Structure 1
Amino acid sequence: MVGNSAIKGLTKPRDPVVKSSGNKSKPTQASKGYVDLPSWTFSSATHPPFWRINNETGFAEFTADLRQLFYHDLPRDEGEYWVSQITPQTLKSLFEGGEFAYAGWQDVPVWYLGTIDDQANPVAAQRINVGFAREMGAHVEHRELPASHSPFLSLPEETVQILVDAVEAFTGHQVAAARSEVRRARNKESLPAVRLWQPLTWYKYGLPYGFGRLVGRGIMIFRWCKSLWRSG
């Protein structure tokens, strides 16, 4: 959310259709797991079931096994090390400051990295998020990896490759001169899409995308009605 809000005023207004001229194109943003709205805080609607609010200390307290939640696909000792690096999150950062929030993902092309084996943010919810953002007018390139909440730790090479793809799409220049066949195959598998001849994809991607679009359309209609009410 901080990254989304930080680009306010640093991009040109988004056109209905993203276009490029030569090697020049608009800024791009890489996203992992969250699409916010103006005036929202991280916990505007609700908070995750794996932590509780402690008003006495002013911090959110985890109630789940964090190694299993965030790092279950890492070796146990490595996962436990990263758990030891997690610091408390203040309630102020989770519930306050919504007036400063900005939906930067609506201004620039976005690459969204989904994590299929995520136990903190279910993959179905991630796909709904993508459908929602697209319905709200965002240009989203969606990729997925068979990883936990932390693909940068469990699948670092594949994560970097997707980042390289994003940079190449943005600049129009090839960054990595040599790519192995394994990486190419993995990269091909990371492209989630609804395919007419593969009914399973209708359920895996079509339903979440469709529900997300329905939610996005509902918000747009609500905003339109609200603007009419104010103008009246």
Structure 2
Amino acid sequence: MSPKPTLIFVPGAWHPASIWDKVSSLLKAQGYNCIAITLPTTTSDPSKTFSDDFQAVRNAIKTETAQGRNVVVVVHSYGGAVGVSAVKDLTAAKGNTSTITSDPTGHVIGICSMASGFGPAGKTFMDALGGAPPNSWKLDYESGFAVLVGDPSESFYHDLPEEERKYWVSKLLDQSLKALTEGAEDTYAGWMDVPVWYLATTEDRALPFQAQQYFVQTVKDAGGNITVREVESGHSPMLSKPKETADFISEAVTAFVG
């Protein structure tokens, strides 16, 4: 078994896998194998659903675990719903830590989540939002995409320098609305199966800090194992605070490995 788990990074809606590059470069320097997922629902195909994203992450996990490597799934925003669902049946038996060291197949040993929520099993992303999107985006059924409204840099990147804000806005992708309205059969509360470390973004304009606190309390009330850290950041700490984000992930992995 590799001494360091593989880190699988799941971006949020509209975002490319490269959103993780700053953080993964810091973690690669520490000897971690880092894999960033391109979500199928961000490939300009309105027919792609949550289930396609779920399967993409799941396939990446299984490729690693089949080679005897443990995995930590790192998720952001909408990617949280995908990533925590994808760990279903890929974790060690709860409470059986001996399985992790004796089984030649690897397992998911933890989840690092940031600026994200924790939804129940069997409900779509929109169900978990109460059935209506926030004011920052809308569902365009004619095009088949979820469309950002106004200036997305204010929601996602307000704490970045202006030129970098423009750069990342230019990298935003078309997001299939089916990712948000379908796929309930694949949603799963994987946050109950493994320890979760949560990085709360205190200056977040897309998912306010108070909402994040509510989600964290939901996990605690359900009996989940969650550890919380905070960072003074907007919605994208992997861009505005990459070192702090990498340090958070490294600390979490140390705890997961035990």
- Provide the TM-score with structure 1 as the length reference: 0.68
Identity %: 42
Superposed displacement of residue 20, structure 1:
5.9
Secondary structure of the corresponding residue to residue 28 of structure 1: strand
Secondary structure of the corresponding residue to residue 147 of structure 1: coil
1:36 and 2:119 correspond: yes
Per-residue CA deviations over 1:62-110 (Å, capped at 9, x if unaligned) read 1131111111111001011001111121111110010111111010000
Residue equivalent to 1:112? 198
1:141 and 2:227 correspond: yes
Q: Which runs of 5+ in 2 are unaligned?
A: 1-80, 102-106
Contact 1:112 1:143 in 2 (8 A): yes
What is the correspondence of 1:16-31 to structure 2 with a 5 Å cutoff? Answer: 27-31=109-113
The CA RMSD measured in Å over matched residues stands at: 1.9
* CA–CA distance in structure 1, aligned partners of residues 249 and 120 of structure 2: 24
Rate the CA distance shift 1:83–1:26 in 2: closer, same or farther, 3 A: closer
Q: Which runs of 5+ in 1 are unaligned?
A: 173-232
Per-residue CA deviations over 1:116-138 (Å, capped at 9, x if unaligned) read 00000000000000000111111
Rate the CA distance shift 1:43–1:161 in 2: closer, same or farther, 3 A: same
Residue equivalent to 2:71? none
* CA–CA distance in structure 1, aligned partners of residues 93 and 192 of structure 2: 9
Rate the CA distance shift 1:13–1:134 in 2: closer, same or farther, 3 A: farther
Residue equivalent to 2:159? 73
What is the correspondence of 1:164-175 to structure 2 with a 5 Å cutoff? Answer: 164-172=250-258
Name the stretch that deviates more: 53-62 or 5-14: 5-14
What is the correspondence of 1:1-232 to structure 2 with a 5 Å cutoff? Answer: 1-15=81-95, 27-32=109-114, 33-44=116-127, 45=130, 46-172=132-258
* CA–CA distance in structure 2, aligned partners of residues 5 and 112 of structure 1: 16
Superposed displacement of residue 12, structure 1:
3.3
* CA–CA distance in structure 2, aligned partners of residues 92 and 20 of structure 1: 38
Q: How many residues align?
A: 168
- Provide the TM-score with structure 2 as the length reference: 0.61
Residue equivalent to 2:68? none
Per-residue CA deviations over 1:32-91 (Å, capped at 9, x if unaligned) read 212111111111123222111211111111113111111111100101100111112111
Secondary structure of the corresponding residue to residue 217 of structure 2: helix
Contact 1:147 1:155 in 2 (8 A): yes
Contact 1:114 1:144 in 2 (8 A): yes
Rg comparison, structure with higher value: 1
Bigger fraction of residues in strand: 2
The ranges of structure 1 where at least 4 consecutive aligned residues each deviate by more than 4 angstroms after the TM superposition are 23-26
Contact 1:14 1:106 in 2 (8 A): no
Contact 2:90 2:108 in 1 (8 A): no
Rate the CA distance shift 1:108–1:60 in 2: closer, same or farther, 3 A: same
* CA–CA distance in structure 2, aligned partners of residues 10 and 20 of structure 1: 14
Contact 1:20 1:26 in 2 (8 A): no
1:14 aligned partner, one-letter code: K
Contact 2:136 2:150 in 1 (8 A): yes
2:82 aligned partner, one-letter code: V
2:121 aligned partner, one-letter code: P
1:30 aligned partner, one-letter code: C
